[in-house]
Amino acid sequence: MRFVSMLCVLALVVGCGGESTSTEAGGPGRRSAERPPVPVAVGEAVVGSIASYYRATASLEAEKSAEVLARAAGVVAEILAEEGDRVPAGGPLLRIENDEYGYRLEQAKARTAQLRAAYERLEQMRDEELASEAEYETARADLASAEADEGLARLNLSYTTVTAPFAGVVTQRLVDPGVNVSLGTPVYTLVDVEPLLARVYVPSREFRQLQVDQAVQLRLDSDRTRLTGHIKLISPMIDPASGTIKVTVEVADYPAGTRPGDFAEVRIVTELRPAALLVPRSAVVTEKGETVVYVAVGVEKVTAERRQVEVGFTDEDRAEILAGVTAGERLVVKGQRSLKDGQALRILEGPGAGESPSETPAPRAGCDA
């Protein structure tokens, strides 16, 4: 009885697993041994625009930078701006003690008044022919000289208040209150950070593709923030040593934390293709030295078709396909690393997701677990 039971069990095993055994030998049970569909994500080939870029790294610079110098000698009486302050054009930065300059102006004004009165008397006397023309001309010259001296004294007095030559940010204060400064002593460093500039050196072969006001993309090295600028200046000269042209990029809008000295990657469009065939960049892989994609083909049964392609321009997300794919086709973007040509697919993400039929065979009758 035990023997009969063992025969029944053996017959059951052969009935449920015999096809699997014959498959390995090339027998009739081949379908049940097929690999199950590989789960993948797909993306669609579309027509769109893509560009080639010249990439370079540049340091952001202030449009204007100046070392402000004292134009009057004396002791610093008052500090009116500190580092980090934004000041308008003509805004006060510091004040130098000006009593001496004030007295000189009063002295010049008094002399001017005296000579003006003398000139007016001689003018009247000349009209009455009581003074010669020479005396009159001398008095007029003396008055003009006195007025010039008064103007100079007034100007020197104004220099005792040091002002900003342009609107900007104070980056450095170089003197302290009580310090005795002389003519030409540096007292502040001022920069104009609106806008910021980036200077890049582009190979001369790209010169014809560049235009003033052309849009430029930038990305800060510090936090990867994306910025947009435009070409402000293109040098008319080619550097004979490097064969490059200096291009000045202006960045008008940027985050508050961006400062001169920040490094940025600069991307300048050198060629634009408005009607290119584009696919997700992740769809393009390299296998055995060949650039290939896997195209999801079929409706009832979706399979992978391996194709060698020719790639044109690329950017961060897309690749241009010059040959090997047509618009509207679906390409595997995830899961293609282990694919083989002709392998069944199950699309989990992208166009057609969930439409692939199950390839798992139904269990045979009498073989339920």
274 exposed, middle or buried (CB, 10 Å; 0-12, 13-18, 19+)? exposed
The stretch 300-304 carries a mean pLDDT of: 89
C-alpha 312/C-alpha 276 separation (Å) is 9
Q: How much is the pLDDT for 134?
A: 87
Q: How confident is the model at residue 325 (pLDDT cuts 50, 70, 90)?
A: very high
Instruction: Catalogue all structural domains in the chain, each as residue range(s) with its CATH number.
Output: 33-49+275-349 (2.40.420.20), 98-159 (1.10.287.470)
CA 43, CA 37: separation in Å to the nearest integer?
Answer: 18
Sequence-ordered list of residues with C-beta below 8 angstroms from that of 35, at least 6 positions apart, any chain? 343, 344
- Average pLDDT for 114-140: 87
pLDDT at 317 over 60: yes
Of 105-119, 127-141, 225-239, the range with the lowest mean pLDDT is 127-141
pLDDT in tens, 184-219: 999 999 999 889 999 999 888 776 778 899 999 999
Q: What is the pLDDT of residues 148-181, one digit of tens each?
A: 999 999 999 999 999 999 999 999 999 999 999 9
